[in-house]
Amino acid sequence: MAITQETGRRDFMKTMIKAGTAPLVISAATLGRGGAVAANDRIALGFVAFGSRAGQLLNDFRRHPQAHYVAAADVDAGRRWNFVKEIGEGTPTFNDYRHVLDRSDIDAVVIATPDHWHAAAIIDSAQAGKDIYCEKPLTLTIDEGKQCVKAVRNAGRVFQTGSQQRSDWKFRHACELVRNGYIGDLKQIDTYIGEGPTGGHDPNVG
């Protein structure tokens, strides 16, 4: 792998946690003819699950000309079809995410599965030699987290997670204001986290 490709990949992965921020600035050396990113400097992405959050991430990644979308896996056929509609007819999709990891033409994976699948997908992806972006929460237990750290370090991969409320300077600044007494005594804190779709009660069960 060329140094420019490795550098570009690492820079791109760093921007993944900043969804919604300004586009990445790319040096002229990375660009091909006419300003397009040279083929060997593109980051080929595979998606492990393609639900609503993965779709949002795809829209953010599209602002970065290095990104190239190769394949996706999802157990839901409708979501696989959504990926094909977004990327183009003939784009490969799979029911089992391990088929995405088996592809030698994929540099990095985007993991946006339900939470309980994160640890397994992280470990499998690292062992397959892929760089990784994974949505929060990374794991459900401390032990799972330790296993993920070990797998990524052993494989020497680039890893990022989407914890914007831990990395965004605005949240850090707000915490410092509170801790240093600029806000005064807090009586109530209201917070909002967007909720995904939930299932209703099945009257035929229980």
- Give the range of the structural domain holding residue 58, as residue numbers without chain letter: 39-166
**In total, how many domains does the chain have?**
1
Query: Does any domain span residue 138?
Result: yes
pLDDT band at residue 187, thresholds of 50, 70 and 90? confident
Query: Does any domain span residue 129?
Result: yes
Query: Does any domain span residue 121?
Result: yes
Query: Does any domain span residue 46?
Result: yes
Query: Does any domain span residue 176?
Result: no
DSSP, collapsed to helix, strand or coil, labels residue 131 as strand
For the beta sheet containing 43-48, the strands, ordered from the edge strand earlier in sequence to the opposite edge, are: 93-94, 67-73, 43-48, 108-111, 131-134, 159-161
pLDDT, tens digit, 9 for 90 and up, residues 90-143? 999 999 999 999 999 999 999 999 999 999 999 999 999 999 999 999 999 999
Q: What is the pLDDT of residue 135?
A: 93
CATH number at residue 105: 3.40.50.720
Query: Does any domain span residue 188?
Result: no
pLDDT band at residue 205, thresholds of 50, 70 and 90? low
Quote the CA–CA distance of 50 and 67 in Å, as a whole number: 16
Query: Does any domain span residue 197?
Result: no
| Whether the predicted pLDDT of 30 surpasses 50 | no
pTM over 0.85: no
Segments in 29-181 forming alpha helices (H): 52-61, 77-87, 98-101, 118-127, 142-155, 164-167, 169-179
Nearest to 90 by CA among 106, 71, 110, 62: 71
Query: Does any domain span residue 5?
Result: no
pLDDT, tens digit, 9 for 90 and up, residues 41-86? 789 999 999 999 999 999 999 998 889 999 999 999 999 999 999 9
Q: What is the pLDDT of residue 31?
A: 41
Average pLDDT of the segment spanning 191-199? 68
